[in-house]
Structures are given as structure tokens and as C-alpha cells.
Structure 1
Amino acid sequence: MQKLMLLIDDDKEEQEILKAAVEKADPDVSFAWAANAYRAGLFLEQVLPDLIFLDYNMPGINGLELLSSLRKKEKMKHVPVFIYTSALTPALQERARTLGANGCLEKQPDTKRLVRDVQDALRTVAGTKYHPIH
């Protein structure tokens, strides 16, 4: 059964980078992108992803605010959510975990490391196949 990962991030370039990493991490995972909290809300009304990567720095509603909102919805309580940001700090990690994030990942140009980070995140979704990159 194919898994679905949703990225919520206002940066189109980050969407392309993460999509490429997901394709390398596991070609059987499909990928969706929402550019902001509003679009994510519309998407989530129709589709429940298996995993969400959520940018912290977005205009309007930031990632932590959206995470808090998502965790209040019954159907979203058990969907793994990872904060995905270039501004990762210990304080942000602690706040994200307090609000219900499954983890935090730092945006980075190192493709191999990003693929490993995506594979680690995918391990939170039962039944996902993994294709190690060497």
C-alpha cells in the first residue's frame, strides 16, 4: 500500500528538494505539497496523509501554530508530524515536541543526509519499505 507524505512549506524550492529526497528514500511514497496553512487545511479535509513535514517559518500561521491546531483534530492526533526548518534550535525542538511533533529536521543542502533523515521519518509509518542509499 502506497504511503503519502505531505509537505507544508511556502518555499517552492524546498518542495522540490524534499520531493527529490523522498523519491530517493522510498520510490513507493507519494508526495503532496501545500504552500501554506490554508491550503493544507483544504487538502487535509479531503485526504489524510501518512506523514507530514511542516515548515516552521511561514507567513501568517507558523508551523508551531499549525501543529497545535492539527493535534486538536481527532483524525490528526496519530499522523506523524515533523517540523522541517532551517531555523532549528533546542528551544524550537522542545516546543515542537511539547505540541506533539514526532521530531524536528533541519533543512540542508546535503542530499544524502536529507535522504537518511527522510528514511528515519518514514520509519514512523508502519509498513513502509526502505531502499538504503549508498
Structure 2
Amino acid sequence: MEKHILLIDDDLDEPEMFMNALFDADIICKCTWANGAEEAFRHLEHIRPDFIVLDFNMPKMNGLDTLRALKAHEEWQAIPVVMYSTTMDSTLSAKALQQGAVQCIRKPYNMKELPTLLQAFL
């Protein structure tokens, strides 16, 4: 059965890079992109992804605030959330895991590394 991922990231280039990495990793799945938390919440009214990949650095509502909102919503709290950020460090990772993320991934500077990272959690 094909997996469905909701990618929440305000970077307009990220969906294409993410989809290319999934393809390179030979991961067949559907991917829905949300440009920030508000758009993600609108998508979640209509879809039930298998995973949410959530960026930390976003305007208006950052990744930790978005994670808290997801985990506070009864219908969404069971969806596994992977935090995904260029600024991922041990402090941010600990906070995200404490608030319900299942994994934290540092966005690689070399995007050729991304398929391997995605294979590890998918």
C-alpha cells in the first residue's frame, strides 16, 4: 500500500527536492505539500497522511508550535511526525521528541544525502 506523506515547509524549493529524494531512494509514496502550518491544518481536514515531515524554521508558527498543535488535536495526534530542519541540534531534537515527534532529521547541506536519510525512517 502506498504511503502518504504531508510535508510542511515554507521553502518553495523543498517539495521538488523532497520528491526527487524519495524517487532516488526508490520510495513510492504520495506527497502533499503545505506551505506552513495553517495550510497543513486545512489539508488535514481532508487527508490522513501516514507521516508528517515538519520543518522547524517557518514564519508565523514554527515547527515546535505546529507539533504542539498537531499533538493537541485528537484526530491528528496519532500521525507520526518527523522534524526536519537545517538547524536541528541536540536541544531542538530533545524538545521535539519530548513534544511527540518520532524522529528528528537534520536537513543535509548536500541534498545527495537526503535519499539515505529518508530510507532510514520510511
SS at match of 1:69: helix
AA partner of residue 108 (structure 2):
Q
What is the CA deviation profile of residues 47-67 of structure 1, one whole-angstrom value per residue up to 9, with x for unaligned ones?
010011101010000000000
| 1:88 CA displacement | 1.0
Does the 8 Å contact 1:6/1:51 carry over to 2? Answer: yes
Question: Do the aligned partners of 2:10 and 2:58 also contact (CA within 8 Å) in 1?
Answer: yes
Provide the rounded CA distance (Å) in 2 between the counterparts of 1:95 and 1:12.
26
Offset of residue 15 of structure 1: 1.9
- Residue 79 of structure 1: how far off its partner (Å): 1.3
Residue identity in the other structure for 2:119: Q
Q: Match of 1:121, as an amino acid?
A: F
What is the identity, as a one-letter code, of the residue corresponding to 1:60?
A: K
Percent identity for Structure 1 against Structure 2: 38
Query: What is the Cα-based RMSD across aligned positions, in Å?
Result: 1.3
Residue 125 of structure 1: aligned partner:
none
CA–CA distance in structure 2, aligned partners of residues 110 and 6 of structure 1 = 23
Q: What are the Cα deviations for residues 72-119 of structure 1, in whole angstroms up to 9, with x where unaligned? A: 122222211111101011110000001000111111243442111111
Is the 1:23–1:29 contact (alpha carbons within 8 Å) kept by the matching residues of 2? no
Shift of 1:27: 4.1
Which residue of 2 is the match for residue 67 of structure 1?
67
Q: Compared with structure 1, are the counterparts of its residues 65 and 111 closer, same or farther at alpha carbon in structure 2 (3 Å cutoff)? A: same
Distance 2:59 2:92 in 1: 17
Q: TM-score, normalised by structure 1?
A: 0.85
The ranges of structure 1 where at least 4 consecutive aligned residues each deviate by more than 4 angstroms after the TM superposition are: none
Paired with 1:74 and 1:110, the residues of 2 have a C-alpha distance of 37
Aligned to 2:85: 85
